[in-house]
Protein backbone atom coordinates (compact mmCIF):
# COMPACT_ATOMS: atom_id res chain seq x y z
CA UNK A 1 0.00 0.00 0.00
CA UNK A 2 1.26 3.48 -0.85
CA UNK A 3 2.49 5.35 2.27
CA UNK A 4 1.25 8.74 1.06
CA UNK A 5 -2.24 7.38 0.50
CA UNK A 6 -2.25 5.57 3.83
CA UNK A 7 -1.04 8.52 5.91
CA UNK A 8 -3.21 11.19 4.30
CA UNK A 9 -5.72 12.47 6.83
CA UNK A 10 -8.49 15.01 6.64
CA UNK A 11 -7.46 18.48 7.76
CA UNK A 12 -10.11 21.14 8.43
CA UNK A 13 -10.03 24.74 9.62
CA UNK A 14 -12.59 26.11 12.03
CA UNK A 15 -13.34 28.40 14.95
CA UNK A 16 -13.51 27.26 18.57
CA UNK A 17 -17.08 27.86 19.78
CA UNK A 18 -17.15 26.14 23.16
CA UNK A 19 -14.80 24.66 25.71
CA UNK A 20 -16.55 21.64 27.18
CA UNK A 21 -14.35 19.95 29.73
CA UNK A 22 -10.62 20.14 30.39
CA UNK A 23 -9.32 18.75 27.09
CA UNK A 24 -12.38 18.94 24.83
CA UNK A 25 -13.33 21.75 22.46
CA UNK A 26 -16.26 22.25 20.12
CA UNK A 27 -15.06 23.56 16.74
CA UNK A 28 -17.39 24.96 14.07
CA UNK A 29 -16.24 24.27 10.49
CA UNK A 30 -17.95 26.20 7.69
CA UNK A 31 -17.68 25.81 3.93
CA UNK A 32 -19.52 27.18 0.90
CA UNK A 33 -21.26 24.96 -1.64
CA UNK A 34 -23.71 25.32 -4.50
CA UNK A 35 -27.12 23.70 -4.02
CA UNK A 36 -27.52 20.88 -6.58
CA UNK A 37 -31.08 21.81 -7.65
CA UNK A 38 -31.57 25.49 -6.88
CA UNK A 39 -27.96 26.44 -7.82
CA UNK A 40 -27.86 28.95 -4.97
CA UNK A 41 -24.61 29.37 -3.03
CA UNK A 42 -25.15 28.33 0.59
CA UNK A 43 -23.01 28.05 3.72
CA UNK A 44 -22.82 24.64 5.32
CA UNK A 45 -21.51 24.25 8.85
CA UNK A 46 -20.79 21.36 11.19
CA UNK A 47 -19.51 21.10 14.75
CA UNK A 48 -16.75 18.68 15.71
CA UNK A 49 -15.56 17.64 19.16
CA UNK A 50 -11.79 18.08 19.24
CA UNK A 51 -9.11 16.85 21.64
CA UNK A 52 -6.74 19.52 23.01
CA UNK A 53 -3.80 18.04 24.95
CA UNK A 54 -2.38 21.30 26.24
CA UNK A 55 -5.66 23.05 27.01
CA UNK A 56 -4.31 26.45 25.94
CA UNK A 57 -6.74 27.22 23.09
CA UNK A 58 -9.40 29.82 23.86
CA UNK A 59 -12.92 30.36 22.52
CA UNK A 60 -12.95 32.34 19.27
CA UNK A 61 -9.54 31.12 18.11
CA UNK A 62 -9.15 29.78 14.57
CA UNK A 63 -7.58 26.31 14.62
CA UNK A 64 -6.61 23.52 12.25
CA UNK A 65 -7.83 20.05 13.16
CA UNK A 66 -6.83 16.64 11.86
CA UNK A 67 -8.75 13.37 11.91
CA UNK A 68 -7.26 10.70 14.20
CA UNK A 69 -8.24 7.36 15.68
CA UNK A 70 -11.24 7.51 18.05
CA UNK A 71 -10.35 9.13 21.37
CA UNK A 72 -13.83 8.72 22.85
CA UNK A 73 -17.34 8.01 21.60
CA UNK A 74 -17.66 11.33 19.75
CA UNK A 75 -14.08 12.66 19.58
CA UNK A 76 -12.19 11.74 16.40
CA UNK A 77 -10.28 14.99 15.82
CA UNK A 78 -7.17 16.62 17.32
CA UNK A 79 -5.73 20.15 17.08
CA UNK A 80 -2.54 20.41 15.00
CA UNK A 81 -1.93 24.17 15.41
CA UNK A 82 -3.68 27.37 16.27
CA UNK A 83 -3.25 30.51 14.20
CA UNK A 84 -3.73 33.63 16.30
**Count of helices and strands (H, E) across the chain:** 1, 5
Q: With cut-offs at 50, 70 and 90, classify the pLDDT of residue 55.
A: confident
The CATH number of the domain holding residue 79 is: 2.40.50.140
Give the model confidence (pLDDT) of 10-36 as tens digits.
Answer: 999 999 999 988 999 999 999 999 999
Is residue 50 predicted with pLDDT exceeding 90?
yes
- Residue 48 phi, psi (nearest 5): -125, 140
Give the model confidence (pLDDT) of 65-78 as tens digits.
Answer: 999 999 999 999 99
CA 58 vs CA 52, 61, 82: distances in Å: 11, 6, 10
Q: How many domains does the chain have?
A: 1
pTM: 0.81
Please give the residue range of the domain that contains residue 16.
3-83
Where helices occur in the chain by DSSP H, the ranges are 3-7
Tell me how far apart the 2 most distant CA atoms of the chain are, in Å. 44
Amino acid sequence: MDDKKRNSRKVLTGIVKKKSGIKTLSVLVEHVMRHPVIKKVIKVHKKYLVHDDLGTVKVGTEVKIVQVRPISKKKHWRIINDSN
